[in-house]
A and B are shown apart, each in its own frame.
Chain A
Amino acid sequence: MVKRFNEPFLWTLFSAGGVVAAFLAPVLLFLYGLTFPLGWLAPPSYEATLALVRHPLSRLVLFALCSLPLFHWAHRFRFTLYDGLQIKHLNEVITVFCYGGALAGTAMAGYLLWKIP
């Protein structure tokens, strides 16, 4: 169970994730999910993408961009299930699934961004 004193901390992560996602998610999803696959713009090569990601500043931004929005999702989704769909008896399972998922995603992002040559 998430204790009450953790609530402000989790809310801060939710809020920070909301800001990061609001600023960066639409353009990146539009580019990599629609523009490049549909050929509206020529997709950058493997080398060019790697060169872009390799920069220390890119790694830092990408890490924040993976981690914070996941905590945003965890917090909001938990309360959507609680208030919206009124699933209250599974509260603890949902809490573990949401924040556990966010932690796992953060760990994976950290590992990959560390390992990318």
Chain B
Amino acid sequence: MKKSVAYTEYHPKWYRTRVSTYWWSRRWTYLKFILRELSSIFVAYFVLLLLLHLSALWKGEASYVALQAWLRTPSVIVLNGVSFLFVLFHTITWFNLAPKALPVRLGGKRVPDALVAAPNYLAWLALSAGIVWLVARG
């Protein structure tokens, strides 16, 4: 065999089928994946809304009242409704993923996913109820 192999600077050209940019639209599972990933945009929007509240609180009562009026605009309510659904989707997918990312074993057997996720859901409901009480009591 000849030893002098000349290496090229570049990669050899492999045969690879091109994946369509819209590959995720083909199946419900793929679509669910991309929706889950896109939920992060609405998580960021939630933070933006939080920062707007903090900014208005800092500026004074007039700013806060103006923000509350802006939040009553129909288009903003629709946007917040959609964002709420996406954020809820984030929570559900996140809790359901936890047992898969961190499988719990007891006595050599894997604890069912639902049993690992359940405490998270319970804590979430309790925390949410606590916040409603804290914020809405007056």
Binding site for B on A (CB under 8 A): 17-19, 21-38, 41-44, 46, 48-50, 52-53, 62, 65-66, 69-70, 72-73, 76-77, 79-80, 84-86, 101, 105, 108-109, 112-113, 115-117
Contact = CB atoms under 8 A, between A and B. Distances in A.
A80 to B, nearest CB: 4
A105 B76 CA distance: 21
Given A29-B49, A77-B44, 18 more contacts: A18-B90, A23-B127, A25-B91, A31-B131, A33-B71, A33-B77, A34-B80, A35-B136, A36-B68, A36-B71, A37-B71, A37-B77, A77-B41, A80-B38, A84-B24, A84-B34, A84-B37, A116-B58
Given A25-B87, A32-B49, A86-B21, A116 B54 contact: yes
Interface in B36-55: 37-38, 40-41, 43-44, 46-51, 53-55
Given A30-B84, A37-B77, A22 B91 contact: yes
B37 A24 contact: no
Interface of B: 19, 21, 24, 34, 37-38, 40-41, 43-44, 46-51, 53-55, 57-58, 61, 64-65, 68, 71-72, 76-77, 80-81, 83-84, 87-88, 90-91, 94-95, 123-124, 127-128, 131-132, 134-136, 138
Nearest to B74: A37
A109 B131 contact: no
Contacts, number: 150
A31 B21 CA distance: 37
Contact of A37 (B34, B61, B68): B68
Contacts of A117: 58
A21 B87 contact: yes
A42 to B, nearest CB: 8
Most buried by B among A29, A43, A117: A29
Given A72-B40, A113-B54, A43 B94 contact: no
